[in-house]
Structures are given as structure tokens and as C-alpha cells.
């Protein structure tokens, strides 16, 4: 599934991102391939834990590693995509975005 994400912070462009969500039938795993306007290409490999898919990636920010996490949690009508960040190696997470996706009834 191909997506385009556009992020703004206080009216200023933060990032333009092209995302490919892909399922690898051989391994049975999901991944995100992300390319952004800063010429970064990142692959976030998925891991299924207790019924939810987790995608974690570490970024350098002012010399410190910040971990970003996307979590897919199944719901009765689709799934919830929860995006969070951790500055302490994953001990605590701060939610930054939350999207509820609903299955198409058609």
C-alpha cells in the first residue's frame, strides 16, 4: 500500500514522506519502507507481539538516540495505529499521533 505523509509543525513544513507498507508472504512479516524529503530511506521491520504489530526505529537527535515506534492494535472494525517516541531507550513512550483505520465495507 503506497501512502504520502505530509507533516507540519506550527505552520512550517516538517517533512514530506513516501511510505510503502508491505507484507512479505514468505516471512509473514509487515514492514514500512519510508523515503523522505531529506533523502533518507528507512526500513522499519515489523514484529508481532501479543496480537499487535510493532515497528521501531532509532534516530539521532542532537547526538542522542530517540526511538520511534508505530504500533498496530486490532479493533472490532479495523485497527488503531499508535505512533510514539522514547528518549530513554524504550523505558517510557510518549504518544505523538493516533489514527483509527476502519475496514471498507464494500
Q: Report whether 54 contacts 69 (CB < 8 A).
A: yes
Q: 2-102 adopts what CATH topology? A: Lipocalin (2.40.128)
Closest-CA residue to 2 (of 26, 29, 35): 35
Cβ contact 98:80 at 8 Å: yes
Which band of pLDDT confidence, cut at 50, 70 and 90, is reported for residue 23? very high
Which pLDDT tens digit goes with each residue over 31-53?
Answer: 988 888 777 888 889 999 998 89
pLDDT for 26 equals 94
* Cell output for 73: 492494535
Write down the domain spans for the chain.
2-102
Please give the DSSP secondary-structure letter assigned to residue 105.
-
**Range 8-32 average pLDDT:** 87
Per-residue model confidence as pLDDT tens digits over 73-86 = 888 888 888 889 99
* pLDDT reported for residue 28: 93
Give residue 59's pLDDT band: very low, low, confident or very high (50, 70, 90). Answer: confident
**Half-sphere exposure for 6 (CA within 13 Å, toward CB):** 3
Amino acid at each position: 500500500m503506497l501512502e504520502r505523509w505530509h507533516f507540519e509543525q506550527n505552520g512550517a513544513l516538517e517533512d514530506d514522506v513516501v511510505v510503502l507498507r508491505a507484507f512479505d508472504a514468505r516471512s509473514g512479516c509487515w514492514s514500512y519502507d519510508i523515503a523522505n524529503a531529506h533523502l533518507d530511506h528507512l526500513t522499519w521491520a515489523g514484529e508481532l507481539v501479543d496480537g499487535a504489530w510493532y515497528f521501531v526505529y532509532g534516530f539521532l537527535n542532537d547526538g542522542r538516540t530517540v526511538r520511534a515506534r508505530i504500533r498496530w492494535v486490532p479493533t472490532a472494525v479495523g485497527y488503531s495505529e499508535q505512533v510514539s517516541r522514547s528518549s530513554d531507550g524504550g523505558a517510557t513512550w510518549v504518544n505523538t499521533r493516533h489514527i483509527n483505520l476502519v475496514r471498507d465495507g464494500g
